[in-house]
């Protein structure tokens, strides 16, 4: 297991390196930042000076070499727009997104396990039928539309919740609510499927033959086995949110990593783009490693491989 993990970590580092090289070159294909940063009628000398100052005139391999040199010093470059170290800007944004993702995924996961397990207990029962329709709707709801409709209802008409911004609990309700909907719908379906399989397993028969209560049969014997596929999908969803809950962050004005990334791409703020991608990649690969560990914790057969 330890060997497996160190292999995973090594391949993750390789993946990040590859990604980084690609981002560096692709970002520079989007065009000259000078076009965006300088007034449209800026004279040629000013443009030249701007490019000179930021090193955009050097051949691309020299730029890359410099970039690598800086990287070894832990320097991810300066933001053109904000004139601050790019890494500082990114490290301010990432906790916002991560806290959103953590809260949303916890709610989605717990909700899905409860609803999905109960639906699986009596497939095609009334609870199962209702939850199937609701979860399918949730999984396919377009979040920007739900978000705008929610603002219209809860903020504009009812005035219960603030429209946007960051602050106390009321500020969290709508963004979290919107983020939960889709993963919840998806996870309910995954939990239902894997719990139907788990509940029809032979070891569930053994548990019942021992006189174990149904509640324990479902939430101990079956669930522990049914969780594996759920964790894969949940990790995937968590990664998607961590990757930038772009729409939610934009609509509700949350200064998270998704919003930062979009803004810096639009502004050709290369250093910030690179820094945000690096940090997000690390987060996503960490989530994957956590999933692997969770697998091993849940299933001794994987642990002993």
Partner 1 sequence: MVTKVSDTKKLLLKVNNLSVSFDTTEGSFDAVKSVNFDLKKGETLAIIGESGSGKSVTASVIMGILACPPGRIKSGEVFLNDLDILKLSDTDRRKLMGSKIAIIFQDTLSHLNPVFSVGSQIAECFEVHKNLSKKESWKKAVELLERVRIPNPSRRAKDFPHQFSGGQRQRVMIAMALALEPDIIIADEPTTALDVTIQAKILELLGELRDERNMGLILITHDLAIAAEISDKVIVLNEGKIVEKGITRDVFINSNHAYTRQLMNSIPGKITKQKKKTSKKFSDPILEIKNISKFYDTIACDNVSFNLFPNEVLGIVGESGSGKTTISNLILRLASPSNGEILYHGQNILNFNRKDLFNFRRKVQVVFQDPYASLNPTMNIYDIISEPWVIHSDFLDKKLHKSTVSDLLISVGLHPNDAIKFPHQFSGGQRQRIAIARALALNPEIIICDEAVSALDVSIQAQIIKLLSNLRNKFSLSYIFIAHDLPVVKDLADRVVVMKSGKIIEQGMVDDVFNFPKEKYTKDLLKASPSIENLIS
CA separation for the pair 36, 42 (Å, rounded): 11
Task: Draw the binding track, 207-226, toward partner 1 (x: CB under 8 A; -: no contact).
Answer: xxxxxxx--x----x--xx-
CA separation for the pair 51, 70 (Å, rounded): 19
CB 120, min distance to partner 1, A: 14
Q: Which of the stretches 7-15, 56-64, 194-202, 253-261 binds partner 1 when contact is defined by CB under 8 A?
A: 194-202
Interface with partner 1, residue 202, by CB under 8 A: yes
List beta partners, residue 166.
none
Interface with partner 1, residue 206, by CB under 8 A: yes
Binding positions for partner 1, 44-83, rule CB under 8 A? none
Interface with partner 1, residue 194, by CB under 8 A: no
Per the structure block, which two tokens stand in for 126? 């009334």
Interface with partner 1, residue 84, by CB under 8 A: no
**Count residues contacting partner 1 (CB under 8 A)?**
22
Three-class SS of residue 78? Answer: strand
Task: Draw the binding track, 223-242, toward partner 1 (x: CB under 8 A; -: no contact).
Answer: -xx-----------------
List beta partners, residue 78.
85
Interface with partner 1, residue 299, by CB under 8 A: yes
Per the structure block, which two tokens stand in for 225? 């086995």
Q: Which of the stretches 14-22, 161-169, 203-211, 270-278 binds partner 1 when contact is defined by CB under 8 A?
A: 203-211
Tell me the DSSP string of 117-167.
Answer: HHHHHSTTSHHHHHHHHHHHHHHH--HHHHHHHHIIIIIIIS--S-SS---
Interface with partner 1, residue 7, by CB under 8 A: no
Instruction: CB nearer to partner 1: give 160 or 219.
Output: 219
CB 113, min distance to partner 1, A: 16
Q: What is the largest CA-CA distance in the chain?
A: 86
Instruction: CB nearer to partner 1: give 2 or 301.
Output: 301
Tell me the DSSP string of 270-296.
Answer: HHHHHHHHHHHHHHHHHHHHHHHHHHH
Q: What is the dihedral of CA 18, 23, 25, 27, to 10 degrees?
A: 180
Residues whose CB falls within 8 Å of the CB of residue 172, separated by 6 or more in sequence, listed in order: 103
Nearest Cα neighbor of 260 from 122, 17, 93, 128 is: 93
Q: Which of the stretches 33-41, 42-50, 97-105, 292-300 binds partner 1 when contact is defined by CB under 8 A?
A: 292-300
Give yes or no for a contact between 222 and 201, defined as CB atoms under 8 angstroms apart: yes
Task: Draw the binding track, 107-146, toward partner 1 (x: CB under 8 A; -: no contact).
Answer: ----------------------------------------
Among 25, 203, 266, 290, the residue binding partner 1 under the rule CB under 8 A is: 203
Nearest Cα neighbor of 255 from 272, 239, 235, 236 is: 272
| Residues in touch with partner 1 (CB under 8 A) | 200-203, 205-213, 216, 221, 224-225, 298-301, 304
């Amino acid at each position: 297991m330890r060997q497996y993990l160190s292999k995973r970590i090594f391949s993750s580092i390789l993946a990040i390196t590859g990604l980084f090289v690609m981002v560096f070159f692709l970002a520079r294909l989007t065009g000259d930042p000078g076009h965006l940063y300088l007034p449209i009628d800026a004279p040629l000398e000013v443009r030249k000076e701007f490019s000179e100052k930021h090193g955009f005139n050097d051949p691309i391999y020299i730029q890359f070499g410099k970039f690598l040199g800086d990287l070894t010093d832990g320097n991810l470059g300066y933001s053109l727009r904000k004139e601050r170290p790019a890494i500082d800007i990114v490290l301010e944004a990432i906790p916002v997104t991560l806290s959103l993702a953590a809260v949303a995924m916890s709610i989605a996961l717990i909700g899905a396990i409860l609803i999905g397990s109960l639906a699986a207990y009596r497939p095609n029962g009334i609870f199962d039928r209702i939850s199937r329709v609701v979860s399918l709707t949730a999984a396919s709801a377009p979040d920007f539309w739900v978000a705008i409709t929610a603002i219209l209802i809860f903020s504009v008409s009812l005035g219960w919740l603030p429209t946007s911004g960051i602050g106390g609990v009321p500020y969290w309700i709508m963004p979290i609510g919107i983020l939960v909907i889709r993963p919840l719908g998806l996870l309910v379906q995954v939990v239902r499927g894997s719990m139907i399989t788990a509940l029809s397993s032979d070891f569930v028969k053994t548990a019942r033959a021992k006189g174990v209560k149904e509640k324990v049969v479902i939430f101990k014997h079956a669930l522990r086995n049914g969780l594996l596929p759920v964790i894969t999908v949940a990790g995937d969803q968590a990664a998607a949110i961590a990757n930038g809950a772009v729409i939610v962050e934009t609509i509700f004005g949350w200064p998270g990593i998704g919003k930062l990334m979009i803004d810096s791409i639009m502004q050709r703020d290369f250093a910030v783009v690179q820094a945000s991608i690096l940090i997000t990649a690390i987060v996503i690969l960490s989530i994957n490693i956590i999933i692997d560990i969770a697998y091993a914790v849940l299933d001794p057969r994987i642990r002993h491989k």
